[in-house]
Chain A
C-alpha cells in the first residue's frame, strides 16, 4: 500500500510540481558568455528556413547555435515554466508579440533592446514596418524584433466558382454569403464556407469580420465594445455563415489545422485565414486542391474591407540570459535584410519594407496573393485580438459569442453577457 500511495501522490502532483518547481531553478550555471547560443523557436516555415541557413552564420561568427523547436502551445508552456524560474538556459526566444508580448514584457522576461537596435546602421532598424514595431515595443522600449507578418485573406476554389458561373471572387461579405450558398447547393458534400470555430482560435480570424462591420473589441475610450450593434452583426454573420453554409455537424473546436484540412480536402469553397499559412493550400503534397486555390482581399463589410495586419512572431532576448551579446548577433543575422528577403522568397511574409519593395521579394508568391496582401496592408488594423496582458483569458471571453452564434443561440444576449464579462476583465487588469 505504501508503494502505491507514493506512486499515486507522485503522479497526481505532476501539475503541482510544474508550478512548484518553478520556484527552485534560479541563477545560471554558466556565468561567462558562451560560444553556444541557445535559441527556442516555434514550428514554422520560418524556422525551417533558418535551420537551413544556419551553417552560414556559424561559419561567419564561429558561434554554435543550439535550436529547440516546439509547437505554439508547447512553446508557451515552456516559456511559462522556464522564464518564471528565471532560467538562463534560453538566450533567444521566438514569441508572439500580440499573444504573450505584454505579459512577458511586464514580467521583465524580455531584455531591453533599445540600444542594440540602434547600434548597427547597415542592419537598419528603420527599415521595419511601423505597425509591427509598435507591437514589439513596451513602454517606449524595444523588446523584440518582428520577423513574420500576417494578414487575413480569402482563400477560394477557382474551379467551384467557375462551375457556379461566378467569374470573380466576392468583393463584399454579402456577395460571399450568396456565393457560398450557391456553390453549396450545387455541390452536395461540399461546404460553401469554412473557418476556425474554436472559441479561442477563432477570435483572430473573426477580428477582420468585426472591423469590417465597423466594430472593435474595445472602443476609443478603452471600454469593452463587443456588444455594439456592429459587433452583434459581425458575430451573427460569422456564426450564421458557418452554421448555414459550413460543413455539416461542424465541430466548435476547430483551429487552423482542422479548418485547413477541410479546405484542402476539397470539402469547402471559401476559407478566411491568415495568408502566412498559404503554402499549406498550394503545396500539392499537402493539398488535394493545390491547382485550384485562389486568393482575394478580405471582402468588404458595411465599414469597408478591414483585415488585420499584424506581426505574428518576433525574436526577443531573454533578460536572464548571460550570453546577451552573442545572442544579439544571432538576432541581427536572422533579421538582416538578406535573411528577410530569403525568407520572403521562401513564402514567409516579413516585416521589412525593403523586402516588400524588392520585386524579388514577392516573385515566388501567387500573383493574386500579392495583390490581396497589398490591399490588406493598406487598410489593415494593427491587432487581431484584444490588446491586454492576459490574452488567453480575453480571447475566451470575446470568443464565446462566436461559438454561441455557430450553434444557433441568441447572439445579442451572448454578446451582452460577453461584454459585461469583458468589461469586468478589463477593470481587473487595470488594477
Chain B
C-alpha cells in the first residue's frame, strides 16, 4: 500500500530503515490493525461469539445439554415465547414496572438530594458518606438484610409498624406487595448513584444564569424549572441511561430476596430472572436463548431511544 521509498514518507520518522526485514515492513504497514488486534480479539471472543452463539441456540430446540443433538427449528421459539401470556409477557410487564417506577423515584429523589447537597454546609462530609453508604454495599448482602427486616413474623419493619398501631404487612411475602417492596429496596440502594452523577453535573454548571434570574426576581421554583433543569438535561439523560439499563437487568437483588423463579407465584420474575430459570432450572437452552435475545433487543432499543433523545437536547 504505502511506498516507503518516497522521500516525504521517509522523513516522517515512522518508516523503516532501508535494511528492515520484510515482516517488519509488513507489520509497520498494517500497524493500525496490529495494535487494535488484541482488543478486537477480546471483543470477538467474549462478546460477539457468545451473542452469535446465543442467537444460533435460539433457533434450535436445544435442551438438556448443549452438546446433545438439537434440531434447527427456525423462529418457532420466538413464536412460542411471544405468544406466551403465562410467563413471558407478565415478566416483560414486571421488568417495565420495576424499571419505570424505580427509575422515576431514583431520578426525582436523586435530583432533590443533589440540589440539597450542592451548597456547602456543616457536617457535609458526614452526610455525603451516609448517603453514599447503600451504593457500596453488595446487592446480595443488601437483599439478605432487607429480607430480614421485612420478615413478616420476626422482622423489624413489622415491629416498627406495631409500635404505631399498624397491622403487620406481608412485604416480600405478599403476592401483590413483593414487587413493590423490591422496587423500594432498589430505590434505597441506587438513588445515591443518581445523586453522585447529578451532583457532578450541578457542580460544573456556571452560577451566572441563576444569579441573573435571581436579580430579575425569579422564584426558586422558576429558577429550577427554567434554568437549572434545562442546563442539567444532558447529565440527567446520562443518569437515566446508566441507571435505567442497570435496573432493566436487575438480577442479584431479586434472586437474593425471592429466590428462583421470582417466588412461588413468580411475583418478581423479570425477564432476566425468567431467562436464568429457563437455562439453569429447566435446561431449556433454546427457549432461554430466545428470551435473552429478545431482552437484548429491548435493552438496545431503549438505549438507542435515549441516546437519540440526548442528541436532540444537545
Contacts and interface: CB of A to CB of B under 8 A. Distances in A.
Contacts of B57: 19-20
B281 A392 contact: yes
B144 to A, nearest CB: 12
Interface string B157-175: 0100000000011101101
B51 A16 contact: yes
B247 to A, nearest CB: 12
Contacts of A407: 175
A303 B249 CA distance: 49
A251 B261 contact: no
A189 to B, nearest CB: 9
Contacts of B51: 13, 16, 20
Contact of B54 (A16, A249, A253, A255): A16
A247 interface: yes
Interface stretch (B59-67, B102-110, B116-124, B211-219): B59-67
Nearest to A197: B264
Nearest to B153: A247
B170 A249 contact: yes
B33 interface: no
Contact of A248 (B64, B65, B168, B285): B168
A396 interface: yes
Contact of A19 (B46, B54, B168, B263): B54
Contact of B307 (A1, A21, A253, A392): A1
Chain B interface, >50% SS class: helix
Interface stretch (B11-19, B127-135, B272-280): B272-280
A9 B51 CA distance: 10
A403 B261 CA distance: 14
Contacts of B281: 392-393
Given A8-B299, A24-B49, A84-B66, 6 more contacts: A4-B242, A15-B279, A20-B54, A80-B280, A109-B65, A389-B64
B68 interface: yes
B289 to A, nearest CB: 6
B284 to A, nearest CB: 8
B175 A15 contact: no
A265 interface: yes
B67 A84 contact: yes
Contacts of A24: 49
A12 interface: yes
Contact of B65 (A84, A199, A247): A84
B264 A198 contact: yes
Nearest to A18: B279
Pick the 3 closest A-B CB pairs, nearest first. Answer: A20-B50, A251-B173, A249-B152
A15 B67 contact: no
Nearest to B45: A24
Contacts of B36: none
Contacts of B245: 8, 12
Given A8-B245, A392-B281, A249 B173 contact: yes
Contacts of B65: 83-84, 107, 109
Given A15-B276, A251-B173, A21 B153 contact: no
Contacts of B154: 265, 267
Interface residues of B, number: 52
B283 A267 contact: no
Nearest to A252: B264
A60 interface: no
A356 B307 CA distance: 69
B68 A107 contact: yes
Given A16-B292, A21-B50, A251 B66 contact: no
Contacts, number: 130
Nearest to A202: B264
Contact of B280 (A13, A76, A389, A396): A76
Contacts of B75: none
Contacts of A109: 65
B146 to A, nearest CB: 14
B64 A13 contact: no
24 contacts: A15-B279, A15-B292, A16-B289, A18-B279, A19-B54, A19-B279, A19-B285, A20-B49, A21-B50, A23-B66, A80-B280, A83-B65, A109-B65, A198-B259, A199-B261, A200-B261, A248-B152, A249-B152, A249-B168, A255-B259, A267-B153, A389-B64, A403-B265, A407-B175
B263 A253 contact: yes
A182 interface: no
Given A73-B260, A250-B173, A403-B265, A10 B152 contact: no
B282 interface: yes
B314 to A, nearest CB: 12
Most chain-B Cβ atoms within 10 A of its Cβ — which of A1, A11, A19, A199? A19
A249 B175 CA distance: 11
B93 interface: no
A171 to B, nearest CB: 29
B299 A12 contact: yes
A271 B282 CA distance: 30
Most chain-A Cβ atoms within 10 A of its Cβ — which of B50, B280, B289, B307? B50
Most chain-A Cβ atoms within 10 A of its Cβ — which of B258, B283, B292? B283
B263 A252 contact: yes
B282 A199 contact: no
Contacts of A390: 282-283
A103 interface: yes
